[in-house]
DNA sequence: TTTAATGCAAACATTTTGCACCCTG
DNA sequence: CAGGGTGCAAAATGTTTGCATTAAA
């Protein structure tokens, strides 16, 4: 399970594994199809009776991103969303411009192409991010 | 030239082609390799002796994006960047995590793949956005 | 002359930070 | 018990908006 990786990361940096960090981690990893933003994590924890401040959520998200366990993604809104970075395969998001629904897709060929593109420019690819904007099946009918 | 397209769009919406709009448009389209943010446009205009308020720049950018002449892009910073949407071919950005340099790449195959991916999900693709993060040639050497 | 556009400053939304107190290792 | 973590409130950042004034068409 990935929790151990988080603990290892914290240890390696001489940081502490605290109750709020545990809660935030579990909230992100428990439902992998959700791409919550900071405020949503805050709301979900509160509804379960845990009070963790927004500041701590932002601080922990920043740690998780640094550790490489979580990715920050942008859906064209004014805030960031977060997702577990456990999906090893190339994947992107289909974002509906009408209802906001987000669906994941994966395509190994994309990673291969991007890797090749990078090499041509002597660029060392670390990670990439693909968002496709358009209209989902439901919203097309309207 | 694209300026006419902007004027046509404004006419079609019964909006006015004003001096500030003209200046902002030209600033974005004059150097297509630059991906300025709102503040940079403001700075560039000011240095040329034109005073246009930031509010007007944001309002005009929003119009340009709606008209389809300009795209809003996210480089993982806390603000948006903008670029002319004249490049018809599929293209993305190589963003250096160390020095921030942005290089464009294009690959027609990516558009084809994304179109196919969309169809599989009954998703109607409108546009897409690809950012590749990593290290440019110079920064790798350090 | 009518209607939209502008600048300014205030409002907003999101994220970051300083600091006194608290908790983990 | 030492050093990092937390909550709170204040600050910082980027963007939007209300309103009185100015300028297109």
**pLDDT digit string (tens) for chain A, length 142 residues:** 789 999 999 999 999 999 999 999 999 999 877 899 999 999 999 999 999 999 999 999 999 999 989 999 999 899 999 999 865 566 889 999 888 889 888 877 788 888 888 888 899 888 888 888 889 988 997 7
Tell me the shortest Cα–Cα distance from B30 to chain A, in angstroms: 25
CA-wise closest residue to B83 among B56, B103, B107, B108: B103
B15-23's contacts with Cβ under 8 Å and 24+ in sequence apart are B15/B63, B20/B52, B20/B56, B20/B60, B21/B60, B21/B63, B23/B50, B23/B52
Q: Which of B117, B118, B122, B140 to mutate to test the interface with A (most CBs of A within 10 A)?
A: B117
Residues of B in contact with A105 (CB under 8 A): 117, 120-121
Total-model pTM: 0.84
Q: What is the crossing angle of helices A3-12 and A54-67, to 10°? A: 90
Contact flag B110-A110 (C-beta cutoff 8 Å): yes
Q: By the CB < 8 Å criterion, does B78 face chain A?
A: no
B69-99 CB burial, b ≥16 within 10 A, e <16: bbbbbbbeeeebbbbbbeeeebebbbbbeee
* Residue-wise pLDDT tens digits, B37-64: 999 999 999 999 999 999 999 999 999 9
| Alpha-carbon gap: A79 to the closest alpha carbon of chain B (Å) | 9
Tens digit of pLDDT for each residue in B61-97?
Answer: 999 999 989 999 999 899 999 999 865 566 889 999 8
CB atoms within 10 A of CB A94: 24
Q: How many CB atoms are located within 10 Å of the residue A108 CB?
A: 10
Q: How far apart are CA A3 and CA A1, in angstroms?
A: 6
| CB proximity list for B36: less than 8 A, separation 6 or greater | B27, B28, B44, B81, B82
- CA of A80: nearest nucleotide by C1' is C14
Chains A and B form CB pairs within 8 A to the count of: 110
Domain boundaries, chain B: 2-84, 91-141
B46 touches strand C (CB under 7 A): no
Partner-chain contact B121 A127, CB within 8 Å = no
Tell me which CATH homologous superfamily contains domain B91-141.
Answer: Ferric-uptake regulator, C-terminal dimerisarion domain (3.30.1490.190)
Residues of chain A with Cβ-Cβ distance to B126 below 8 Å are 97, 133-135
Judge: A113–B117 Cβ closer than 8 Å, yes or no: no
- Residue numbers in A 10-29, CB below 7 Å of strand C: 16-19
Quote the CA–CA distance of B98 and B68 in Å, as a whole number: 31
Which one is the CATH code of B2-84: 3.30.70.20, 3.40.50.300, 1.10.10.10, 1.20.210.10? 1.10.10.10
Cβ contact (<8 Å) for A122 and B110? no
Residue ranges in chain A assigned as alpha helix (H):
3-12, 19-30, 38-47, 54-67, 108-120, 137-141
Helix residue spans in chain B (DSSP H)? 2-12, 19-30, 38-47, 54-67, 108-120, 137-141
Shortest CA gap A49–chain B (Å): 31
Count CB-CB contacts under 10 A for residue A137: 13
Return the percent helix, strand and coil in chain A, to nearest 5: 45, 20, 35
Residues 51-80 of A with CB under 7 A from strand C: 54-55, 58-59, 62, 77-80
């Amino acid at each position: 399970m990935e929790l151990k990786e988080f603990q290892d990361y914290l240890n390696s940096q001489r940081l502490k594994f605290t109750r709020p960090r545990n809660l935030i981690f579990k909230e992100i990893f428990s439902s992998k199809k959700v791409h919550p933003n900071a405020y949503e994590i805050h709301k979900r924890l509160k509804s379960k009776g845990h009070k963790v401040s927004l500041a701590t959520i932002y601080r922990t998200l920043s740690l998780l991103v640094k550790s490489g366990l979580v990715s920050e993604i942008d859906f064209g809104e004014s805030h960031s969303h977060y997702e577990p970075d456990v999906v090893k395969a190339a994947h992107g998001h289909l974002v509906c411009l009408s209802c906001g629904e987000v669906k994941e897709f994966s395509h190994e060929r994309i990673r291969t192409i991007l890797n090749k593109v990078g090499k041509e420019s002597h660029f060392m690819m670390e990670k990439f991010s693909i968002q496709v904007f358009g209209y989902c099946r439901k919203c097309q009918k309207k």
